[in-house]
Structure 1
Amino acid sequence: MIRLLISLSLLCIHCSISGFASSGGSNPVDSLLTILPGLEKEERIEALLYLARRAPFDEQEGYLQEAEQLAAPSSLLAGRMHKEWAIFHVIRHHHTACLDQLEQARKIFEHLKAQKELAYLYHMYVELYTTAFDHITARKYGNMALDIALDVGEDELIGYSYHALSHTVPYQNPEREYIHPAISYLKKSNSKFLSHAYNNLGYRYYKTGVLDSSLIYFNLALKLKEEKKDPTVSNTLGNLAELYLSMGLNQEALETSEQVLSILAKTKDLENLLTAYLIQVEALIELDSLDRALQAMAKADTIISQFNLPIYELRIQFFQVKKKLAFALNNSADYYTFDQEFMRLSDTLAVKKDSVFIHQLKAQQELHGTEAKLQMLDRELEYQVWLNWGLGALILLGITIFLLIFRNQRIVNKFEQKRLQLLDQKRKVDQLEIQNLKQRQILHQEENRQVEERLDYRKRQLSSSLIMASQKNELLKGILEELENGIKSQNGESKVLLEKLKKRIEYQLAADEDWDKLKLHFEEIHPEFFQKLTDRFPHISANDRRLCAFIRMQMTNKEIARILGVNAASVLKNRYRLRKKFDLAKEEDLTNFILNF
């Protein structure tokens, strides 16, 4: 999502100075820097805005500051300058500063009635609110942009407005009404944005598992971007690398990710760099090139250490890949650590999305209620005004007409006061709702923290119980072996006593005391596992359920054998019998089946 936001925000700029880019010389930036001192004021501002989009990451702010000093307040160029500042901030995740710059640009464009500029600006609002999971507000701005585009009647603007609206619906709906009209209008206008619409549709097919269609649209997008030398070609290559990885084409995924890294090598686009390295690591793991995977992972570690914001979705992907690498290296300690961080970030993102959704619903309910009251007041006011004018029409005397007008004005003032009171009440309700929402978020975070601590404690208890049971069984098995050796060398009463002791130890190994404790800890962590297992497979035995629990805890055959006091071959036989009871196909993995149960 972050990668998509950056690429689309950059594209929604209305390039009014494209003539500079095509003027002589192989490098437009160098050409502009050469002629910049001799340009008139307005041309100089446009050139500075162009340079701010094309300059290296750490030089952009200087060009924008110079343009800001030259631009006249409330001019069209000032509005474009604020829009460039908004893009500058959104790439750096300064969303509050971005929104402030967008508002300043909006006021200028509305004052100047610059409809096309306003429509492209609304596209940026769509991307900003979509990233914040506020799809209701994003869709509102998308519809406003589409209304303007339809009034203007420009195919490219209409197509790009549909394209912006497509980001307000879930990726799991590739056939929704927005993306296909977008492609149709952008084709008609031969727009440079057509490649981004293809990329969007390809990503939607990828998310729904229609990989062949996804590959077709990604390749269409890549072809157009390469023809037009689009600077966002690395985004489509990154999507292709992810797709190849999903299709099992690991060598192609590796080569494509290396293309992305070569393009981004001189940039500070940390999100796309990190994503490319993570794809490279996954491909190398699948290709069993673990040394190279470790090197790529080290570079990913360096990049993520530079992040100063909680980009949850990217961090979740980061720890998911680290888990895979730890698993491939058989490093169980690191795997457990990365899995804990992965679960924590996933839960944090889910809580964030839930809180935003609840806030949207409540705000929408309050807004609808207030709008209904205002509409009722407007109808009452209209009725009173027409009634008074009707009475005034029946009375011919001037003084009576004067009194009626006076009375009418009083009614207008009265209802205006009521309307202002309701608006004030709405403002207070909104403030209280915001305060309550913040308090609930704090409480929810504290509850999540406590739940995580309890779950961690229970997992430690379970681990301790497993270790103790394993150690006890190992000890008893060792004693049992020594007793068997002693029995062979003894006769008479000593041999009888040793055999009795052997039977007691064998009984202790077979006892369920340890299993009862383990089962108690296991059910605290996975409360519904045994119930679901029994409901679906009522014919399996207690030993089968015990084996399922050990597999659910991701224990190896040797670890299970040590706890049960048997050899690893017995565990393999039990696993084979369990597969038959579950009626699993040959290609189905028993461990994955139980983990996903």
Structure 2
Amino acid sequence: MIKYTIIFLLLIFISSTGFAQHETLESFRGAGSVKAIESLTELKKLYAKAIEEGNALQEGQYLQQMGKVCYNQGHFRQSLEFYLKAEKIFNTTNQSLLLAANLSDIGILYYYIKQPEKAMKNYLLALRIYQKEKNRKGEALVFGHLGQIFEKRQRYDSAFYYQNLALKINNQIKDKSGAAKIYENLGSIYEDLEKYDQAYLNFRQSLNLYQEDHNNLGSIEVINNLGDILRKTGRYKESVAQTKIAMQLAAKMGNSYQLASCCRDLGKAYELMNQMDSAYHYVQLGYRHTLDLYSEDGARQVAFLQVLYDINKKSDEINMLQNDKKINRIIAVSATIVLILLVVLGFVIFSRQRFKLKDQQMLSRQKEIEHDLTSLELKNLQLEEQQLKQQLEVKSRELSTHTLNLIKHNQFLENLRNTLQAMVKDDKRDQKKQMNQILAEINQSFNHERNWKEFTQAFEQVHHQFLENLKKFSLELTSADMRLITLLKMNLDSSDIATLLGISTDSLRVSRYRLRKKLNLEQGDNLTAFLQAL
């Protein structure tokens, strides 16, 4: 029994770590997240076409959709940038309902990045527009969002007030999906207040409406909530039955996140029932689903970042083309002015010979003014181009940083493997077989070389000139040397570099010494400073 308890607690820790990073985002991800990259790519093409055609309304709509895609993938900064651009367009084109929907989406974004004041401000702006346009569905949606903010602030009276307003409107307009969500929110409030009977009734009402509306994802979440209520009230067998129903639906939909969540809940229930074998089985199964989720998300995130990079690059190219058009217009206007002045000058010379000198002086001054204006405009365009290049450099560095974060996931598995290896060396032989099995599973989940390959590709894109300069100092650098050089270039601490390379700090010092010799550095020269200067 003791050995199962130790293993169970260990896997609970691993599983809960994974869920903590996903529970915020996965609550609003739909089944279409797999196609996020394709959607973003298609929206990018349509957005570029709208710009070429000068269709401002479509520009705003495509920006709003790109903001939703980025939001659903957890890229909040990029999402906010798209939303704000869309808001500006909707304001100038007087698209009130589109503006209200956009403000509501911005409010949701601020809510998830824990800026409730900004979220509240955008919700209220959206609410005013919906009320002015008499859009009841929009009003209900915003009332529900306001109720969630007050719930998080533990102001439950206000939370109940706004949720009930939303529920009243949804019942009036017969919006089953909207009403189901509000009942779910009310159940959550009662659960916070530990009024489990009322929470259960609201969750049950929400489930009935979701099922009538054939909303399987919403049904899974509510069934899980019902299982939680039953578990908290000591009805463990009923809790297990509810959670297994949710698990079957999640498996049918192929939703890895919900499967992992169900396994975690089953593990807790069986632990409370003191059935540690079953608890261990489901927590271990949930851990496997979590690893699958990490692997899928990691690959999608890298590809998604590449698409965002391409979009920003394309936007820069469009801006450059627009700047070129401005320059061409300036040149055309300047040429026209010069031509007109020449014609006027010829007429003056022909008709008024005695004012020839005066007219020539006036023309000369006008040319100087035109030259100064043209030079000033060209300087401004050069400054704008430089700023665009700097922005592209920043975005490239962000790509490199995100890729490096993928590598750091292996640090967690490395520490866990070392801990389990220490447990295997213990004299308790009855644990070794299971510990070795867990070690084998962890070793299979390692993807070190692929992460290094992705990091190296991203690094070469950002620091291409650095690598070219490095070749001037030595052609004998190995792949291990290059890994050490890239990490030193990123200006990481020695302890972090040793962890990422999987070596001790003493071995790192030896590697740095050998690298200095290959680069022909003199004694006293700082290796890190040398690499930063390249």
8 A Cα contact 2:244 2:262, kept in partner: no
Partner Cα distance (1:455, 1:345) in 2: 18
Q: Which residue matches 1:448?
A: 409
- 1:308 paired with 2:254, answer yes
8 A Cα contact 1:136 1:360, kept in partner: no
What is the deviation of 1:143? 3.0
Q: Which residue matches 1:129?
A: 70
Residue deviations 1:314-363, cap 9 Å, x none? 45644543343233223445555666655758977997899799989988
| One-letter code aligned to 1:322 | L
Partner Cα distance (1:109, 1:358) in 2: 23
Partner Cα distance (1:116, 1:393) in 2: 39
Per the normalisation by structure 2, the TM-score is: 0.53
What is the deviation of 1:182? 1.0
Partner Cα distance (2:104, 2:86) in 1: 11
Q: Which residue matches 1:175?
A: 117
8 A Cα contact 1:326 1:335, kept in partner: yes
- 1:261 paired with 2:207, answer yes
Q: Which residue matches 1:191?
A: 135
What is the deviation of 1:292? 0.6
Secondary structure of 1:229's counterpart equals coil
Partner Cα distance (2:325, 2:52) in 1: 27
Partner Cα distance (1:448, 1:264) in 2: 37
Partner Cα distance (2:152, 2:223) in 1: 21
Q: Which residue matches 1:288?
A: 234
What is the deviation of 1:300? 1.8
| One-letter code aligned to 1:251 | D
Residue deviations 1:365-415, cap 9 Å, x none? 9899989988998998888777767766665469xx9xx9xxx9xx99xx9
Match for 1:160 among 101, 112, 122? Answer: 101
| One-letter code aligned to 2:127 | I
Change (3 A) 1:196 1:245: same
Q: Which has the higher contact order (CA 8 A, sep 6+)?
A: 2
Partner Cα distance (2:415, 2:139) in 1: 52
Partner Cα distance (1:257, 1:307) in 2: 21
Partner Cα distance (2:130, 2:230) in 1: 38
What is the deviation of 1:181? 0.8
8 A Cα contact 2:103 2:123, kept in partner: yes
8 A Cα contact 1:241 1:257, kept in partner: yes
Q: Which residue matches 1:142?
A: 83
Change (3 A) 1:378 1:113: closer
Q: Which residue matches 2:467?
A: none
Provide the aligned length of Structure 1 versus Structure 2.
375
Partner Cα distance (2:406, 2:419) in 1: 20
8 A Cα contact 1:5 1:127, kept in partner: no
Residue deviations 1:421-444, cap 9 Å, x none? x89x97xx89x959x958974x75
Partner Cα distance (2:205, 2:126) in 1: 29
| One-letter code aligned to 1:291 | K
Partner Cα distance (2:50, 2:399) in 1: 34
Match for 1:95 among 36, 39, 47? Answer: 36
What is the deviation of 1:280? 0.9
- 1:325 paired with 2:269, answer yes
| One-letter code aligned to 1:261 | L
Partner Cα distance (1:351, 1:93) in 2: 12
What is the deviation of 1:262? 1.9
Partner Cα distance (1:366, 1:190) in 2: 41
Calculate the aligned-residue CA RMSD, in Å. 5.7
Match for 1:251 among 190, 197, 211? Answer: 197
Residue deviations 1:201-258, cap 9 Å, x none? 2223334444443333222212211111113222222222233222212222222222
Q: Which residue matches 1:499?
A: none
Stretches of structure 1 that go unaligned for 5 or more consecutive residues are 7-89, 471-597
Q: Which residue matches 2:422?
A: 461
Change (3 A) 1:463 1:362: same
- Higher mean alpha-carbon deviation, 183-192 vs 293-302, is at 183-192
8 A Cα contact 2:140 2:169, kept in partner: yes
Partner Cα distance (1:246, 1:351) in 2: 33
Partner Cα distance (1:178, 1:130) in 2: 16
8 A Cα contact 1:198 1:221, kept in partner: yes
Q: Alignment identity in percent?
A: 13
Stretches of structure 2 that go unaligned for 5 or more consecutive residues are 1-24, 348-362, 432-534
Residue deviations 1:529-564, cap 9 Å, x none? xxxxxxxxxxxxxxxxxxxxxxxxxxxxxxxxxxxx
5 Å-filtered alignment, 1:340-489, equals 341=286, 395=342, 396=345, 437=399, 441=403, 445=406, 448-449=409-410, 451-459=412-420, 461-462=422-423, 465=426, 467=428
| One-letter code aligned to 1:245 | E
Q: Which residue matches 1:63?
A: none
Secondary structure of 2:135's counterpart equals coil
Change (3 A) 1:388 1:107: closer
Secondary structure of 1:330's counterpart equals coil
- 1:206 paired with 2:147, answer no
Partner Cα distance (1:259, 1:466) in 2: 55
Q: Which has the higher helix share?
A: 2
